Structure 1
Amino acid sequence: MRMHNADETCGIARAAVVLGDWWNVLVLREIARGKVRFDALAAEIGLSRNVLTERLGRLVTQGVLRRSLYQRRPVRYEYVLTDAGRALLPLLVAMQDWGDRWVLGDGSLTATAAEDGAEHARVHALVGTRLPEALELPGTQGADLPVVSPTAAATVLFTYPGTGIDWDEPVPGVTGCTLENRLFRDAWPDFQRAGVDIRGISTQLPHQQAEFARAEDIPYPLLSDAHHQLGAALRLPTFRGAGRLRHKRLILIVGAERTVRHALFPVDDIPHAVEQSLRLAGDCARTA
């Protein structure tokens, strides 16, 4: 792309060289979702092989992707995000948030969703989807933990906006995060007996989650998606509140093989949703 001299020191202009192409953005979106092989990318995006080859080569040259050999005969590569590429995930999630609110929505700021909206359709389309391999997030104990338990017969993932937050303005659907964690905490023995693990996920920082976990005696891991790895991988709905993008409240029931079995969204009746997740996850564990 030819640039005017005035743009040579402009970060926006330089980033536009990387992201200012429709196909580049979609390629990065799909790689963030775990579609890292050429055929999977071509099938998902519907891009011709020649054009896809050119786009991938350009993103490798720009330092956003790197090629990783996975087959020698014939030679085949996976395309994975570099540090620079992972740093683009918050931007992709912010683009999605803007599109959900201002293009697909009516511009309202909300932490919930209408059942006939795009976010609802996208979350429920996750059923049958397999989560990307080796997806880990920082936990409250300081170490990265797998999003899906490697030992449980099923895992409940619940995302929530955040705890202990002084909201700048009233946002429909933000209240109840402490209640939700307490209800999962109180039901934890029942989940354990059913062979089910729990992961609570927000975009709060690990030390903020750790402080809450200690105060509330939370027995299951709280994971930080502050860098939006999970949000980008699953295209989870977000909203902007109290200075950062935050997950809307939802619950996913994931089987031992990392496949989403059930999706609960929107979550408006929190006690009912916790009871329902125990029943659904227990059924999933029994049939594992």
Structure 2
Amino acid sequence: MRMHNADETCGIAQAAVVVGDWWNVLILREVARGHVRFDELAGELGLSRKVLTERLGRLVARGVLRRSLYQRRPVRYEYLLTDSGLGLLPLLVAMQDWADRWVLGDGTVTATAPDGGAEHARVHALTGTRLPSDLRLPGADGKERDVVDPDAAATVLFTYPATGIPWEDGIGGSGIEGAAGCTLENRLFRDAWPSFHESGVAVHGVSTQLPYEQAAFAQAESVPYPLLSDADLRLAAALRLPTFRGAGQLRLKRLILVIDADRTIRHVRFPVGDIPDAVQQAQHLATA
């Protein structure tokens, strides 16, 4: 890319050199989703092998991806995100959030979604797909956990915007439709947790709040299940989850996934309007 001299000190221009290519962005999107092998990437993107080889080589050379050998005869590599590549995930999610609002939506900031819209279709298309095997998030104790409990018959994973924010006053003071109810949802899952536990089903709550914020809430509310932090937006990027910007930060919209032990998403509930009914349904589906 030809650049003006003034661009040498511009971070936006320098980032555009790395990710400004259409295919580079989509390759990073697919790697974040767990499609890390050449044939998987070619199939998902519909890209010729020659062009894909060129783009992967550039991303490796830029230090965004690294190659990891997984087969010797013939030689085959997986393409994995480096720390530099992981640092681009918030950019990808921010691009998605912008497009969901301004290109695919009407510009309204909302924590919910209409039936039949792009976000609704994208989330419900997750049914039958598998979560990446290396998807781990920090818990309230700061230690990383698998988003799927490997010892459980199933995992109910619910995402929520945040607790302790103005919209949690019960009045919806933020004016963001669908944002209120995070504390209520956690309390309902807390009260139903003995039944989940007895059935061998794990419950994981996920928000973009920091672990120390989640730890304070978990202690105050006696939450018995793990609260995981997606502050770095790894889960949001991996599943292309819908977000909205509230209180100056990207927040996950409320949804519920029921995930089998083999990491396959069995059921999806989105959007979540009636929270008590959604928790009850999750309990029924996960323990059936």
Scaled to the shorter chain, the TM-score interval is over 0.9
**Structure 2 stretches of 5 or more lacking a match?**
168-172
| Distance in 2 separating the partners of 1:47 and 1:135 | 26
| Distance in 1 separating the partners of 2:279 and 2:49 | 46
Q: CA RMSD in A?
A: 0.8
- Partner SS for 1:68: strand
Q: Which amino acid is the alignment partner of residue 194 of structure 2?
A: P
Q: Residue 62 of structure 1 aligns with which residue? A: 62
Q: Residue 202 of structure 2 aligns with which residue? A: 197
Q: Which amino acid is the alignment partner of residue 175 of structure 2?
A: P
- Partner SS for 1:145: strand
Q: Residue 127 of structure 1 aligns with which residue? A: 127
- Show the 5 A alignment for 1:260-279: 260-279=265-284
For each residue in 1:10-40, what CA deviation from the matched residue of structure 2 results, as whole angstroms up to 9, or x when unmatched?
1000000011111000000000000000000
Q: How far apart are residue 163 of structure 1 and its match?
A: 0.1
| Distance in 1 separating the partners of 2:93 and 2:232 | 10
Q: How far apart are residue 194 of structure 1 and its match?
A: 1.4
1:175 corresponds, among 167, 180, 187, to 180
Q: Residue 245 of structure 1 aligns with which residue? A: 250
Q: Residue 166 of structure 1 aligns with which residue? A: 166
For each residue in 1:221-262, what CA deviation from the matched residue of structure 2 results, as whole angstroms up to 9, or x when unmatched?
000000000000000000000011000000000000000000
TM-score, reference length from structure 1: 0.97
Q: How far apart are residue 166 of structure 1 and its match?
A: 2.6
Q: Residue 224 of structure 2 aligns with which residue? A: 219
**Structure 1 stretches of 5 or more lacking a match?**
284-288
Q: Residue 286 of structure 1 aligns with which residue? A: none
| Distance in 1 separating the partners of 2:70 and 2:28 | 20
- Partner SS for 1:14: helix
2:190 corresponds, among 185, 192, 198, to 185
Task: Check if 1:10 corresponds to 2:41.
Answer: no
Q: How far apart are residue 103 of structure 1 and its match?
A: 0.3
- Partner SS for 1:197: strand
Task: Check if 1:104 corresponds to 2:109.
Answer: no
Q: How far apart are residue 109 of structure 1 and its match?
A: 0.5
- Partner SS for 2:166: coil
For each residue in 1:88-112, what CA deviation from the matched residue of structure 2 results, as whole angstroms up to 9, or x when unmatched?
0000000000010000001010000
Q: Which amino acid is the alignment partner of residue 104 of structure 2?
A: L
TM-score, reference length from structure 2: 0.97
| Distance in 1 separating the partners of 2:233 and 2:114 | 23
| Distance in 2 separating the partners of 1:101 and 1:30 | 22
| Distance in 1 separating the partners of 2:247 and 2:84 | 26
Question: What percentage of aligned pairs have identical amino acids?
Answer: 73
| Distance in 1 separating the partners of 2:181 and 2:191 | 15
Q: How far apart are residue 142 of structure 1 and its match?
A: 2.0
Q: How far apart are residue 134 of structure 1 and its match?
A: 1.9
Q: Which amino acid is the alignment partner of residue 205 of structure 1?
A: L
- Partner SS for 1:8: helix
Of 132-141 and 177-186, more deviation after overlay is shown by 132-141
| Distance in 1 separating the partners of 2:10 and 2:265 | 42
| Distance in 1 separating the partners of 2:69 and 2:249 | 37
- Show the 5 A alignment for 1:42-61: 42-61=42-61
| Distance in 2 separating the partners of 1:122 and 1:141 | 32
Of 253-262 and 158-167, more deviation after overlay is shown by 158-167
| Distance in 1 separating the partners of 2:107 and 2:142 | 37
Q: Which amino acid is the alignment partner of residue 155 of structure 1?
A: T
- Partner SS for 1:201: strand
Q: How many residues align?
A: 283
| Distance in 2 separating the partners of 1:134 and 1:191 | 25
| Distance in 2 separating the partners of 1:101 and 1:258 | 30
